[in-house]
A and B are shown apart, each in its own frame.
Chain A
Amino acid sequence: MTRATPLILVVDDDPSIRQTLARELALAGYDAVAAADGMEGKFVFEERRPDLVITDLAMPRADGMAVVAAVRRVDRTPVIVLSVRGEEEDKVRALDLGADDYVTKPFSLRELLARVRTQLRKSGAGGGEEVLRFPDLEIDRGRRTVAQAGREVRLTPTEFAVLELLAGQAGKPVTLRQIIATVWKGAPATTSDTVRVHVGSLRRKLEPDPANPRYIGTEPWVGYRFLAEPE
C-alpha cells in the first residue's frame, strides 16, 4: 500500500447504492471512487490503481466477472463482489475467477466494512509467514505441525494441506473447486464429498466443539471460510 489512506473503487450500476457506499466508505476513513458499470470500472481501475475493489455482478456492458478478470490480469488487488441471493453459481464463479470475498445483497454496511478491513489487512500483511498464529491455534508450515491450545494435534498430510490452504487465507471464502485444485491438484476422482470428509475429520481433531466450529466455517453453496482472526 503506497497511500496513507486506502483508495477503494466501487462499481455498481445503481446510483443510490453507488453513492451511499462511496459516502459511507469516505466516512469510515477511506478514499472512494465510483464507476457506473464494468467497462467504466475497468477503466478507473487502470487509471487509479485502487487498493480494493467492490463490484456488483449483474451490470450492463461489462459485468462484475469482467471486472474481476481485469483486476486479476494485473495484480492481487483484493476484490469483494456484491452478489444476489439465489445466484450462488455466480458467487462461486467470481471466487474461482479470483475474487477475494463476497457479500450478499441486501447486505449491511457494517458487514461490508468488516470485510473491507479484513481484505485490506491481509493484502498489507502478506501471507508468507512460517507460523500462522490464531487464538489457541498455531500452524507451523515449516515443521508441518499444528498445536491447539498448547497440545499437538496429529493431522494426515491431506488434512494439513487443507488446513494450511484455509488458514493461509483466513477470513476469505475458499470454494470447493479451489480446494480440490490446490490440495488434490485436480485429481480426477476427487469430489466435493472427498473434501467434506477431510474437513469433517479436521473439525473433529481441531474444534473444541465440532458442531459449532470456531475455525473452519461452512459457507453454504460455496465451500469453507477460516473464521479465526490471525493474531
Chain B
Amino acid sequence: MPPTLPRSRALAWAAVPLAVALVTAFGQWAGANASTIVSFYLVAVLIVAAWGGWAVGATASVAAMLCFNYFFLPPFGTLTVADPANWAALVSFLAASTLASRLVATARRQAEEAQRRRREVETLYELCFGLFTATQRPGVLGESAARTLQAIGADSGGLLLGGTADEGPLASVIGDGPLAIDRTLAERARETREVVESEETKGVRTAYVPLDVGGLLNGILAARGALASRAVLEPAGRLLALAIERERLLEEAARLAAVRTSDALKTSLLRAVSHDLRTPLTAMRLEIESLDRHVADRPEALSVLHGLSLEQERLERRIDNLLSLARLEAGVAKPHPEPVPPASLFRGARESLALILADRPVETRVEPLCPDIWTDPSLTLEILVNLLENAARAAPPGETIELAAGRDPGARERVRIEVRDRGTRRTDARSGDSSSGGLGLRISWSFAEANGGTLALLDRPGGGTIAWLDLPAAPEAEEVAV
C-alpha cells in the first residue's frame, strides 16, 4: 500500500502534540506526581514512535521532556530546574524515551520489510503457478505476459520479442494504448541482461526486463506503472522467459509428433503403391521370359516378345524413378551414402539396360587413381541409368556411348562421371520440362542434388552431348577413424 504511507506519517506527526497534551492534561487533572507521569509520557512516546518512526518518536521525546519539566517539576510553570536531582530525572527520561522509540521504530520497519518480502514471494508464487499451469492453447504467450505484467503492478506494457530491441514492434499486451518504448533503455537491457528502469515520476516508472533463459534472450518485457521492486521484476522476468521457452518446446513437440504421424502415413502409402505396382510388373516379366522359351523356334514371335520386354523394362524404370522421387520428396527416404566404386555403377547401369544396349557399343573408362564415390548406390544407379538411356535414345544406332569416371579436375574431393554420346536432341529435351526423357532428367537432377552432387548437360565438341555428374568422393581409408 505505498500511496497510504505518507498520509499515515503526516497523521503520526500531528499526533505528537496531541498525545503529549493529552498526557499532560490527564496528569494535571489526576494530580499525578512526577514519577507516575514519567511512565505515562514514555507510553505515549512509544505509541507515536511505533506509528510514525524514529524521527516522530525523538520529537515526541523532546516535547514530553519539556512538558514534564514545565508542569510537573518544581518550580512549576517554568522551564527552570531547581533541584539537581531533577536534572538527572529529565536526562534519563529523554535518553530512555529516545532509545525506546528508536527500538520500536526499527522493529516496526523490519516487520514492514518482512511483510513486503512476503508479498513479493506471494506475487512470484502466484505468477509461477499461473504461468506453468496454463494449458497449451493459442494466445497463451500473450496471456502469460499479461499475467506477469499484472503481477508486477504494471498498468500497461508488452513484449518485445526476438533478440534485438530495435526491430519488431511491441506486442502490446495490456493497457489502453501502445506503450512509448525508450529504445535506448530497451537496448541497454538487452545488452546487459539486467533490468533497466526509467526515472520515477509521480510513482510511475517504466522498466525493461530481459527475458533470459540460460543465456538465450527470448525478448524484453516492457512494463509501465507503479511497479514492484527490482527484487520482483528480475525473477518475474526469468519466470516469463521460462514460460515462453516451455511454450516453444511444447509447440516443437506437437509439431514433431504431427510430422512423425504424417511420415508414417506417407511411408505406408508409398509402400502399398510400390507393392501394388511392382507385383503385376514382376508377373509380366516372368510371363514374358517364360513365353520366350516356348516360342524360341518362331523368329517373328520372338521379335514381338523382344519389343514387349523392352517396353516392360521401360515401364519398370519409370515406376522405379517415380517411386524413388516420391519417397525423396515426401522425405520418408533419406539417401544412405556409402563408398561406391564407379566401375560397379557402370556395370549396374549396363546390366539394367541390357536390352536397350544390346546392339550398342559402350566404352567405360575409370581413371587409375579414381576414388570411390560417397553416395547412395541405388539413387546414383538410377541417375546413371537415366543418363545412359537418354544417350542411347539420342545417339544414332551403332554409335559408341562413352562412360568415364575420374577425380574432378576442379576439386580433388569430388568425382566426375561423364556420359558422352554423339546424339542429337530437341532443344527442349535438356530442360526437363517435357517428354519421358525430360522426366528422367528431372528425376536425375533431384537425385544428384539429394546426394550432394550436381548434374549438367553440355554440348560435346564435334556434336552430341556430355552429361557431367559431380559427386562427393568417399573418404580415403586413412582419413576414417577406425
Contacts and interface: CB of A to CB of B under 8 A. Distances in A.
Contact of B278 (A105, A200, A212): A105
| Residue of A17, A197, A211 with most partner-chain B CB within 10 A | A211
Interface in A57-88: 58, 82, 84-88
A178 interface: no
Contacts of B320: 85
A43 interface: no
B286 A24 contact: yes
A21 B294 CA distance: 15
Interface residues on B, range: 35 or more
A87 B289 contact: no
Interface in A192-206: 192-194, 196-198, 200-201
A88 B336 CA distance: 10
A116 to B, nearest CB: 14
A193 B474 CA distance: 11
Nearest to A220: B377
A24 to B, nearest CB: 6
B282 A17 contact: yes
B339 A212 contact: no
Contacts of B356: none
A218 interface: yes
B428 interface: no
B283 A14 contact: yes
Interface string A194-231: 10111011000000011111000110110000000000
A210 B339 CA distance: 13
B300 interface: no
Interface in B19-34: none
Nearest to B476: A200
B342 interface: yes
A16 interface: yes
Nearest to B272: A58
Interface stretch (A32-40, A106-114, A130-138, A163-171): A106-114
A23 B377 contact: no
Nearest to B367: A211
Nearest to B336: A221
Given A24-B290, A86-B274, A197-B482, A106 B377 contact: no
A92 to B, nearest CB: 11
B286 A85 contact: no
A64 to B, nearest CB: 12
Contact of A220 (B289, B343, B378): B378
A27 B333 CA distance: 40
A90 B342 CA distance: 26
Given A211-B342, A221-B378, A197 B289 contact: no
A20 B283 CA distance: 8
Contacts of B278: 84-85, 105-106
Interface string B430-442: 0000000000000
Given A17-B286, A108-B285, A193-B481, 13 more contacts: A14-B279, A86-B333, A106-B281, A106-B284, A107-B282, A192-B338, A197-B477, A200-B339, A211-B342, A217-B344, A218-B339, A218-B377, A221-B338
27 contacts: A16-B283, A20-B283, A24-B290, A85-B274, A86-B274, A106-B281, A106-B316, A107-B282, A109-B286, A196-B338, A196-B339, A198-B482, A200-B339, A200-B477, A209-B343, A210-B341, A211-B343, A211-B370, A211-B372, A212-B366, A217-B344, A218-B340, A218-B341, A220-B338, A220-B340, A220-B377, A221-B338
